[in-house]
Amino acid sequence: MMIVLSGAIGAGKSSLATILSEHLGTEAFYEQVDNNPVLPLFYKDPKKYAFLLQIYFLNKRFDSIKKAMVQDNNVLDRSIYEDSLFFHMNADMGRATPQEVKVYDELLDNMMQELPYAAAKKAPDLLVHLDISYDTMIHRIEKRGRSYEQPEQDPTLPEYYHQLLSRYDGWYDDYDYSPKMKIDGDKYDFVENPEDRQKVLDLIDEQLRKRGTLD
Ligand SMILES: Nc1ncnc2c1ncn2[C@@H]1O[C@H](COP(=O)(O)OP(=O)(O)O)[C@@H](O)[C@H]1O
Ligand SMILES: Nc1nc2c(ncn2[C@H]2C[C@H](O)[C@@H](COP(=O)(O)O)O2)c(=O)[nH]1
């Protein structure tokens, strides 16, 4: 089966997906971001585009899962379960109607039942969660530089990011679809520092060995 990464915006999921898949000799599957036509529209007018963006991500995520599941230890850079976290948070902020939430939840449930792995196992092999503080999140968002995510573009974004991070704490604690582990994304600079990178890979290898998915 596969390894799924989770974490807030800028946590380092895409970076770790590349590093981990190279280490394991497998393939990484990335979220549709730079070529996502709905994402900039969502940041400009969240109320209008929250539902459309969610359907866009769900469709692409489903496609990635189907492709990723053909080989053991392929790496997905975000879990399908987090999409729901994002959407419910946006709905609670008044950006989606209860009817849209109902349609989304039922569609997600229906699609998950169609996945062969969901039917057999209902889960990835391991969820690796990247835990970051608010300051790290903002620093990374600035470092990466996607214009529509920058706090100075929109004064409501800091509150959006705070809420997202606080929801992630509860989300990780409640997550029980598969074995899980948390990496301290503030502490380990696995992008620039080779020693930190090796430590993070060792931590993940240890978990994979425990689960019998790494020799
Ligand atoms: N652990 C880390 N240490 C230092 N920089 C990081 C780390 N993780 C990510 N970055 C940097 O932060 C930015 C966002 O990382 P990215 O992998 O795109 O995050 P995500 O996919 O979770 O949104 C990038 O510029 C990346 O180089
Ligand atoms: N409203 C939603 N936004 C989402 C969802 N999944 C991702 N995103 C946004 C958040 C970022 O701006 C961007 C990419 O996320 P990264 O964490 O990979 O940087 O897309 C979602 O389900 N709903």
Identify the pLDDT of residue 32: 86
DSSP-H helix ranges across the chain = 13-24, 39-44, 46-68, 80-92, 98-114, 116-120, 134-144, 157-174, 194-210
Instruction: Report the mean per-residue pLDDT for the chain.
Output: 93
Element (H, E) at 2: strand 2-7
Cα angle: 109, vertex 110, 111; to 5 degrees: 95
pLDDT in tens, the chain (215 residues): 799 999 999 999 999 999 999 999 999 999 989 899 999 999 999 999 999 999 999 999 999 988 888 888 999 999 999 999 999 999 999 999 999 999 999 999 998 887 765 444 557 889 999 999 999 999 999 999 999 999 998 999 999 999 999 999 999 999 998 999 999 999 999 999 999 999 999 999 999 999 888 87
Domain 1-208 fold: Rossmann fold (3.40.50)
Please tell me the distance between residue 35's alpha carbon and the centre of ligand 1 in angstroms: 19
**How far is the first Cα of the chain from the last one, in angstroms, to the nearest whole number?**
15
| Marked catalytic residue, from 63, 72, 77, 186 | 77
Determine the distance from the C-alpha atom of residue 143 to the mean position of all C-alpha atoms in its chain, rounded to a whole number. Answer: 19
Residue 77: active-site member: yes
- Cα–Cα distance for residue pair 32/35, rounded to 1 Å: 6
Tell me, yes or no, if the pTM score tops 0.80: yes
- Domain limits, the chain: 1-208
Please tell me the distance between residue 121's alpha carbon and the centre of ligand 1 in angstroms: 31
Number of other CB atoms surrounding residue 158 within 10 Å: 13
